[in-house]
């Protein structure tokens, strides 16, 4: 055996030293009979304590003694393969106080027979290339395939064996007889851990390695893994696909379960952000440790599952195998599992367990792969006799065809296996004829390497003389430029396994159905195509989905039930936003959709109905002439106006009588006209408001009332001054008194006119709508514009009334025949009482009552003036004419002294 030394990296010296010590110990133990080979593809050190077990009942499940370092087939160039076909558990044995760290006794917990398809896909691809005259003509491709299980140490050891060409490996040496390393590339591994550890060895010699597992962002670092390649996949595409599925069914309260590794952490971070962005909530997150012998059920996690219906799971069959066992055996719930194809739930976690109704009904996102012509026929033709050098096929065959056990040892009787059986007949729990995405990646990876070899050979033929020896003088590192300038792609149509860029990512959405009959397990119910964030295509046929047996309809996944119409969400303290209480909408607001975050206000011209789920048009209302209240006010206004007109006519008819002439009859005429207009001014408050009526309401009322009150003030002044003018020796003349009283009326009215003019010039009244005072109504009213001006008008009237009341009260004891002070005092008391009561009443009412209060106050105060001042005089004129004579009045004049 030729040995060609390589330049040894310093860090590998400890491996060489350790390996030499282990080899020496191995030989010593083998001589003593303490070590024997197992049924695994690469011999492991199965330590047996002498005398512990009968030798004829060796518990190790060995089907043949084969020390071959893997499945090997020679060729001009060799492609290595690292596959994981089983799950094993560590059973450390201590011999003479020494624990074997690199070689432990491992018990097979689970044969992942479906993973054997990955290895067969590589064999099939190489057979096709061998038969294809257009790819690598006159050049043969061999292979060297290893089973590393899911053990990183075995991945390191197998990678070193691929480099040295021997097993056990000799680090940094080529032990091949031809003294030439024909290894050009390695396909593997399935998990990030296997790919990482093998890459650290293969990258030292620039050997290209193509991982056929799911894309992992952590392996995309070209500095740490310069020779490692992956099949690219947009992680965003998977996130978006799951989000679209959750939104489609309205699942807003879901749990996230991931394998406890970097890929799981990246998925948790990215998925959580996308869920929050789309209004979805993470009920809980669970990180599942890698397969171990621990059997205690996490009670906290079990309680979580009891409160949630939908769970998203990211992980592979290996990392979730023990967790699958817990779910199936310990959790009697019908949860809906949303997974990826990496976790094959059709594979029972332990032998003999066929009840998968608890995992049925789940949905899976599987990368879409095209059908490879001839692959299914190839699988149907696979038999142990056809591949006698395949050291893995007997082990897989014994499990797939369920060979009988020896009852005492558990060793399978291979002679009783169905050697001529076909894989197509086997149940889905142990074999699947449909090509998996991982097998597709292996197939595509082989073609990618073959294409890179062909391009490199073509380049060499142009540079060299064209001799075959020159063409075959290739090194693994020479393939990197061809692999780096392209991105690996899963499409291998027309035998092209690479493309310059990935145009889109397509997922098939599968539904797990009828798992008990092993026939109709994965049914395609939809698909998701992701090209960009703004260009996505989602299709799902709800009618084809079979939900778990616990559900008769589409399951729900919410923390709180949807809020009905008329209710909005109110967050629960300390809980995510998906958990909320439903509260009724406040006044003036509605919720016209279910599950609204906030109620919406109705427009000003609308109001909510009793259920507060829709807005209704408000009724437009005002104090119209059709209202009973308005009719009463009109009747009173007209009646008092007519009465005032009759009094005026009566005074004109008896204008020469003493009682009419007393206290200036012209002022009486003016006061009666003013009162009549006051009564009529109340009519401006009735009917639909407009610009004219709004201006006249307050200003006309203010001016007319100021005239009336100023006239009363003038009459009061005349009572006082006139009594003093008739006294002997008085210099006052009645003409002077009359002119002064006219000045009082003019001045008092002019001041009010100025106030109203200033009001109209700055902020005049205008028509307005009151949409809030009355529920379901829009009240048409007049807005005073300037509230200050409005109260100035009322305040000035109050000042005139108070002044008249004061003077009249002081003059109440003058002789009766000439004295109106008593009647003016009573009239002013009535006037002031009405308007003092008006202000709080006016401020406390809204809408039509407010307008009616002001109109009633005008009528009441005007009627008070009319009744208290003029009705006594009308009584004398009509019924006591004997008192309305000059002689009678002279008798009551005060005697001179």
Average pLDDT over residues 259-272: 88
For 103, the token pair is 């070689």
Residue carrying structure tokens 């061999």: 142
Q: How would you write 79-109 as a 3-class SS string?
A: EEEEECCEEEEEECCEECCEECCCCCEEEEE
What mean pLDDT do residues 198-213 have? 92
Please report, to the nearest 10 degrees, the dihedral formed by the alpha carbons of residues 202, 203, 205, 206 taken in order. Answer: 110
Structure confidence at residue 673 (pLDDT): 92
State the pLDDT at residue 65: 35
Q: Is 441 helix (H, G, I), strand (E, B) or coil?
A: helix
Q: Answer whether 712's CB lies under 8 Å from 869's CB.
A: yes
Cis bond upstream, residue 735 (ω within 30): no
Find which of 485-499, 692-706, 819-833 is predicted with most confidence, using mean pLDDT.
692-706
| CA neighbor of 567 nearest in space, from 512, 623, 613 | 613
User: At 700, which helix (H) or strand (E)?
Assistant: helix 691-725
In this prediction, residue 145 carries a pLDDT of 94
Of the listed ranges 68-77, 205-214, 643-652, the one predicted with least confidence? 68-77
For 421: left if phi > 0, alpha if psi spans -120 to 50, otherwise beta; the answer is: beta
Of 63, 92, 60, the closest CA to residue 409 belongs to 60
- Predicted pLDDT of residue 260: 83
pLDDT at 823: 82
Report the Cα 782 to chain-centroid distance in Å: 48
**Buried b / exposed e across 838-850, counting CB within 10 Å, b at 16+?**
beeebeeeebbbb
Its pTM stands at 0.67
CA distance to 705, 710, 761, per residue, from 752 (Å): 9, 10, 14
Cβ count within 10 A of residue 532: 11
pLDDT band of 8, cuts 50, 70, 90:
very low
Of the candidate ranges 2-11, 132-141, 815-824, the one whose mean pLDDT is the lowest: 2-11
Structure tokens at 323: 């967790």
Which of 268-277, 498-507, 820-829: highest mean pLDDT?
268-277
146 pLDDT tier (thresholds 50, 70, 90): very high
pLDDT at 345: 77
- 46-55, 201-210, 272-281, 563-572: which has the minimum mean pLDDT? 46-55
Residue 327 tokens read as 């779910």
Q: What is the pLDDT of residue 676?
A: 93
- Dist CA 88 CA 66 (whole Å): 19
pLDDT attached to residue 486: 63
Q: Which domains does the chain show, CATH number per domain?
A: 567-617 (no CATH), 628-891 (1.20.1070.10)
pLDDT at 2: 41
| pLDDT value, residue 115 | 92
Please tell me the number of Cα atoms within 13 Å of 625 on its side-chain side. 5
% of the chain surpassing 90 pLDDT: 23
- Which range, 660-664, 739-743, 770-774, has the best average confidence (pLDDT)? 739-743
Mean pLDDT of 566-573: 90
pLDDT for 446 equals: 94
Please, is 674 exposed, middle or buried when counting C-beta atoms within 10 Å of its C-beta (0-12, 13-18, 19+)?
Answer: buried
Residue 79 · residue 142 · CB < 8 Å: yes
What are the structure tokens assigned to 349, written together? Answer: 């976690």
Least confident of 143-147, 488-492, 781-785: 488-492
Q: Which residues in 493-541 belong to E strands, given as ranges?
A: 498-499, 505-512, 522-532, 535-540
Per-residue pLDDT tens over the stretch 319-347: 887 777 777 666 656 788 899 888 887 77
**Residue 364, C-beta contacts closer than 8 angstroms, at least 6 positions apart:** 338, 339, 340, 341, 343, 345, 509, 510, 511, 512, 522
Task: Give, as one character, the DSSP assignment of residue 374.
Answer: T
Distances (CA, A) of 110 to 120, 233, 859: 19, 29, 103
Instruction: Examine the pLDDT at 63 and tell me if it is beyond 50.
Output: no
pLDDT at 34 over 50: no
518 — pLDDT class (breaks 50, 70, 90): low
Assess whether pLDDT exceeds 70 at residue 74: yes
What is the band of 130 on the pLDDT scale with cuts at 50, 70, 90? Answer: very high
Q: What is the pLDDT of residues 174-202, one digit of tens each?
A: 766 555 568 999 998 888 889 999 999 99
DSSP secondary structure letter of residue 547: -
Q: What is the pLDDT of residues 394-408, one digit of tens each?
A: 888 888 888 876 644
Per-residue pLDDT band at 12 (split at 50, 70, 90): very low
Tokens of 812: 């109440």
**Sign of the dihedral defined by the CA atoms of residues 459, 462, 463, 468, in that order:** positive
What's the rounded mean pLDDT across residues 134-160? 90
Q: What is the CA radius of gyration of the chain?
A: 53
Under 8 Å between Cβ of 770 and 778:
yes
Query: Does the pLDDT value for residue 304 go beyond 60?
Result: yes
Answer whether residue 283 shows pLDDT above 50.
yes
| Top-confidence residue, 601 or 664 | 601
Please tell me the number of Cα atoms within 13 Å of 598 on its side-chain side.
Answer: 3
Name the nearest CA neighbour of 585 among 605, 618, 610.
610
Instruction: Report the C-alpha gap between 897 and 895 in whole angstroms.
Output: 6
Mean pLDDT of the chain: 78
């Amino acid at each position: 055996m030729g040995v060609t030394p390589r330049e040894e990296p310093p860090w590998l010296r400890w491996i060489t030293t350790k390996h030499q010590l282990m080899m020496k110990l191995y030989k010593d133990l083998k001589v003593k009979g303490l070590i024997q080979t197992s049924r695994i593809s690469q011999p492991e050190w199965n330590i047996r304590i002498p005398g512990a077990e009968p030798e004829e009942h060796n518990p190790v499940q060995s089907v043949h003694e084969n020390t071959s370092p893997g499945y090997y087939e020679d060729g001009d160039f060799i492609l290595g393969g690292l596959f994981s076909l089983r799950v094993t558990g560590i059973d450390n044995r201590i011999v003479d106080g020494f624990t074997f760290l690199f070689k432990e006794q491992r018990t097979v917990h689970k044969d992942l027979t479906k993973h054997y398809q990955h290895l067969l896909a590589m064999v099939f691809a190489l057979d096709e290339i061998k038969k294809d005259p257009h790819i690598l003509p006159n050049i043969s491709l061999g292979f060297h395939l290893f089973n590393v299980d899911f053990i990183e140490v075995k991945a390191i050891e197998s990678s070193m064996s691929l480099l040295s060409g021997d097993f056990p490996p000799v680090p940094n040496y080529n032990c091949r007889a031809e003294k030439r390393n024909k290894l050009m590339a390695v396909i593997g591994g399935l998990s990030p851990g296997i790919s990482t550890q093998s890459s650290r060895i293969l990258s030292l010699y620039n050997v290209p390695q193509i991982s056929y597992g799911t894309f992992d962002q952590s392996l995309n670092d070209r500095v740490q893994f310069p020779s490692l390649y992956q099949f690219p996949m947009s992680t965003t595409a998977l996130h978006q696909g799951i989000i679209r599925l959750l939104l489609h069914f309205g699942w807003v309260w879901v749990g996230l379960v991931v394998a406890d590794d970097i890929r799981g952490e990246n998925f948790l971070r990215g998925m959580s952000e996308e869920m929050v962005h789309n209004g979805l909530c993470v009920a809980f997150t669970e990180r599942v440790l890698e397969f171990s012998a621990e059997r205690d059920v996490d009670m906290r996690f079990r309680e979580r599952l009891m409160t949630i219906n939908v769970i998203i799971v990211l992980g592979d069959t290996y990392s979730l195998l023990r967790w699958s066992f817990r779910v199936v055996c310990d959790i009697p719930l019908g949860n809906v599992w949303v997974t990826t194809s990496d976790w094959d739930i059709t594979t029972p976690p332990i032998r003999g367990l066929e009840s998968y109704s608890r995992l049925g009904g789940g949905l899976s996102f599987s990368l879409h792969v095209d059908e490879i012509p001839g692959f299914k026929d190839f699988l149907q033709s696979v038999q142990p006799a056809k591949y006698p050098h395949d050291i893995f096929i007997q082990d897989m065959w014994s499990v797939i065809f369920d060979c009988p056990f020896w009852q005492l040892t558990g060793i399978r009787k291979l002679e009783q296996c169905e050697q001529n059986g076909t894989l197509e007949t086997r149940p889905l729990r142990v074999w699947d004829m449909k090509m998996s995405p991982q097998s597709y990646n292996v197939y595509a990876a082989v073609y990618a390497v073959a294409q890179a070899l062909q391009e490199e050979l073509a380049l060499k033929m142009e540079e060299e003389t064209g001799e075959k020896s020159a063409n075959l003088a290739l090194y693994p590192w020479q393939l990197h430029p061809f692999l780096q300038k392209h991105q690996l792609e899963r499409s291998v149509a027309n035998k092209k396994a690479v493309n310059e860029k990935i145009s889109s990512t397509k997922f098939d959405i599968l539904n797990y159905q009828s798992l008990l009959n092993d026939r109709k397990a994965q049914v395609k119910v939809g698909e998701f195509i992701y090209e960009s964030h703004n260009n996505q295509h989602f299709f799902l046929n709800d009618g084809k989905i079979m939900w778990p047996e616990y559900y008769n309809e589409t399951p729900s996944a919410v923390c709180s039930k949807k809020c009905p119409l008329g209710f909005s969400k109110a967050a629960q303290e300390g809980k995510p936003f998906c958990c909320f209480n439903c509260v009724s909408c406040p006044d003036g607001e509605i919720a016209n959709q279910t599950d609204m975050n906030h109620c919406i206000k109705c427009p000003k011209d609308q109001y909510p109905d009793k259920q507060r789920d829709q807005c209704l048009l408000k009724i437009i209302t005002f104090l119209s002439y059709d209202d009973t209240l308005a009719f009463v006010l009109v009747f009173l206004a007209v009646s008092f106006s007519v009465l005032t007109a009759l009094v005026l006519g009566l005074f004109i008819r008896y204008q020469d009588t003493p009682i009419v002439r007393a206290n200036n009859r012209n002022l009486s005429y003016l006061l009666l006209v003013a009162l009549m207009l006051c009564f009529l001014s109340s009519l401006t408050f009735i009917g639909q408001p407009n610009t004219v009526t709004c201006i006249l309401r307050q200003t006309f009322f203010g001016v007319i009332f100021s005239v009336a009150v100023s006239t009363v003030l003038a009459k009061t002044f005349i009572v006082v001054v006139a009594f003093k003018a008739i006294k002997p020796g008085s210099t006052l003349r009645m003409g002077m008194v009359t002119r002064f009283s006219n000045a009082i009326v003019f001045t008092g009215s002019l001041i009010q006119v100025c106030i109203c003019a200033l009001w109209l010039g700055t902020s005049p009244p205008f028509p307005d709508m009151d949409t809030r005072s009355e529920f379901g109504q829009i009240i048409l009213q007049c807005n005073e514009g300037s509230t200050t001006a409005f109260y100035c008008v009322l305040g000035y009237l109050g000042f005139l009334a108070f002044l008249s009341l004061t003077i009249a009260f002081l003059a109440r004891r003058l002789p009766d025949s000439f004295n109106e002070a008593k009647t003016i005092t009573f009239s002013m008391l009535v006037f002031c009482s009405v308007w003092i009561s008006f202000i709080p009443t006016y401020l406390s009412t809204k809408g039509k009552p407010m307008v009616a209060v002001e109109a009633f106050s005008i009528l009441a105060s005007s009627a008070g003036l009319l009744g208290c001042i003029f009705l006594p005089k009308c009584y004398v004129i009509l019924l006591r004419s004997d008192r309305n004579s000059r002689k009678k009045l002279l008798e009551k004049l005060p005697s001179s002294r």
